[in-house]
Amino acid sequence: MKYNKIPISIENQIQKLKDRGLKFDNEKKSAHYLSNISYYRLRAYTFPFQDNENITDNQPFIVKDISFEKIIDLYVFDRKLRFLIFDAIEKIEISFRAQIINTFSITHGSHWQLDKSLFNNEDIFYKNIESLNTEIERSNETFINHYKTKYTNPLEPPCWMSLEVSSIGLISKMFRNIKKCKEKNAVTMYFGLTDFSILENWMQSFSILRNTCAHHGRIWNRRLLKIKIPNFHKYPFISKQTKADIYPNKLYATICCIEYFLKIISPQNTLKDKLKSLLNSCPMKQEKEMGFPDGWDKDPFWN
C-alpha cells in the first residue's frame, strides 16, 4: 500500500481531533502547543484513549470527557518523570562503571578489556571493542588526548580511561559477555545480588530506559524489557506479595530495581520522595498503566 496522507495545517489538526471526540478548552493555546510539540509526538499520548480495535482513519476517542488539556497534562507529567528517572540512572551508571573498572583492573591489569580470554563470545568481543574504540575516538576528554600524545603501546587507553567515555549500553554488553569468574561475582555481590544474570538483565533494562529518556521518548505506558525479579538479595526489596503481582515489562518493576540500587550507592537519595510527590499529580489516574499497584507507596520498601 502506498502512503498517501498529506500534511495538514494546525487548524485542521485541531478540527480532526475535535471530529474524533477530543474536547478543547482553548483552541488558540492548543494551537501554540501543537506548533511547538507536534501532532504526531502527542499521538502517543492520545492513542490509548481512542478506539484501536477497529483501525480506521477516524479512530474516535472512547474515553469520555477527555480534553486536549488533559493530554498536555499527561505529556508534562511524563516529561517530569523522564527527568527523574534519567537523574537516578546516571548515579547507577557511574557506580556500575566504577565497580567493573576497579574490580577487574586490580586482578587483570590496566588493559583487561582487551583480553579476549576473559570473554565468552569472540565475535561479540571484537564487535564491542570496535564500538569502544569508536567512542574513544569520538571523545574530546583531556585524559584521552593526553594518553594518545604520550603513549604508543598499547594504542588503546587503560580501562579507567576507555570505559569512562563508554556508554552504559556498551558497558552493559561487555559485562554480559564476560565469562563467569570471581570478579564478575564480586561486582554482582557488591550490589547485593547472588546471580549475575539478574544484574545483567537490570543493567540492560536501565540502559534502554536511559536512552529512551535521553532521546525524549515517552515513559508513560511504555512496555519495557522484562525485569528479572530476584528471590535472594542482600538488601531490602519490594515485598513478596508485590513480587508476585508485579508486571515485569512495566515501569514500576524497573523503577523498583532503580531504587534498590540507589539505596546501596546513594543512601540519602530522594527518589522515593520525589516519585511519591510526582505520582500524586499523575493525570487521569494513569498509575496503573505504568504498573504501579494500588497502595504501592505503602510497601515498606518505599518508606
pLDDT at residue 141, rounded to an integer: 94
pLDDT at residue 186, rounded to an integer: 97
Residue 158 to residue 170: CA distance in whole angstroms: 16
Give 163-207 pLDDT, tens digit per residue: 999 999 999 999 999 999 999 999 999 999 999 999 999 999 999
pLDDT at residue 55, rounded to an integer: 63
CB 241 within 8 A of CB 296: no
Domain range summary for the chain, segments of one domain joined by +: 10-66, 77-119+181-302
pLDDT at residue 105, rounded to an integer: 97
pLDDT at residue 57, rounded to an integer: 64
Q: pTM of this prediction?
A: 0.93
Q: Which ranges of the chain have pLDDT less than 70?
A: 54-57
Give 256-295 pLDDT, tens digit per residue: 999 999 999 999 999 999 999 999 999 998 999 999 999 9
